[in-house]
Structure 1
């Protein structure tokens, strides 16, 4: 399952190859309540076919209507605003008088969409700089996360696997979690030294590594864009990975297991040269308490907690997984 941003780029490349007129739409600014954050993208074809989203649907409907009636006549990027007045906010489904500013970019060879897609398929974090006067694009390697930047001359956006997820264990739950994470544009690596578990893996696009988890944690050099989830139920694998992960700047570290098992795990980690502050970073039992019981549901609860922690919001009570 590809992320929605990747699906949008794939649509752009395919439509250009097929000779369709198409445009690339980016949310560049929002005020008040907005359904989609800055950086959200959508591709629209001249016949009104769309991939991606820039609102709850009403703005898309307006763009589709204009494409079908007026055609795609833009030659250079154009900024559009929706929801400035109360009537427009109501019409376009923007709550509380929200406003969305879009940049609509007519696509062609100068847009370098195929080159951008190729870079993303190689997992290269890429900065895309669009010249607003000419529509030409410059692609550059990007070393760190950077916010969307818009000025009178250019729009700069970041594309690629901004976040990494290391999953310890190649079981069924790991597959569901990897699917969700991939759709959210994580670069997912699964580590399991047990051959019988790796052989059953069937998710394309996810690296499955035969290595000891603690060695792989050290090799990956986890940073603030990294997360680790231990799902084997085997302390010999989970604890060794956690021991090294808790020493890093990873923004999320979680482990499956009941409250009793987590208490015992914390006692073991204290004996492995970790201090109380490092152990406090561990989310265990893992996942938010949303009443989940099946592997699908538990995977959703884990990803929900990762999103919550990444966003810095208050954590809810945790289930006994």
Structure 2
């Protein structure tokens, strides 16, 4: 099935299902990792706007990545993939192959002659604001809620720190802050959306790697971008999180990747843990009915 076919199916009206009437179109992120330069402006903007605590400068001993993964104090994480190209894989693409201006650095070569056997992939990761959100399904206090924009937000004054949402997220996004135990994650700058502003991370991105907008429009834009890259010979370009038929019903934040999801630390086939709940309750009901019928039959037999 082509990318266009996978994007042709409409995403569910999650805001309407949550009880919002007359709500605006669903919004989200399209992150084009092919133009990410790893500047971390998105991380800084996210922390500044949302007052997310600083989480230290730990270079992990093997990378320029100082945050490592998403967490309670890292709502945006720029992943650095620094490794030799896999055997048989084409060398790293020159900037112009990806639709970017050629880098004009002293002594640097551009074009096919400047390709090397070393690749440096970068990607700004974030909460996916899933169509079927496991964190939302398992929250016992209602601290997590679906907004009128189709996003998922944690209400800090209601969260009791139980941690059920942490295990309910197939991406390992949501986490509890050590000092108070309450769950924390990206809100897609819910307060900014109310004022007609784009999220801080997208506003700060200098290359438009992070694109914000109506989700249907972003999906069309993403399909066109992949087609453009394929025409330029970047055949490894593919979308992640765009398919409404995947294990989370399609994500509100999806990505253009230049390799397999595992290379970027993303699960290849994420499935929301609560997806089978309706079927489980159905089977439980059938089993309970059968047990009740057997008990009635046994009791009736004893009376006779």
Both proteins in one fold, TM over 0.5: no
More strand by share: 1
Q: Report which structure shows greater RCO (CA 8 Å, sep ≥6).
A: 2
TM-score by length of 2: 0.21
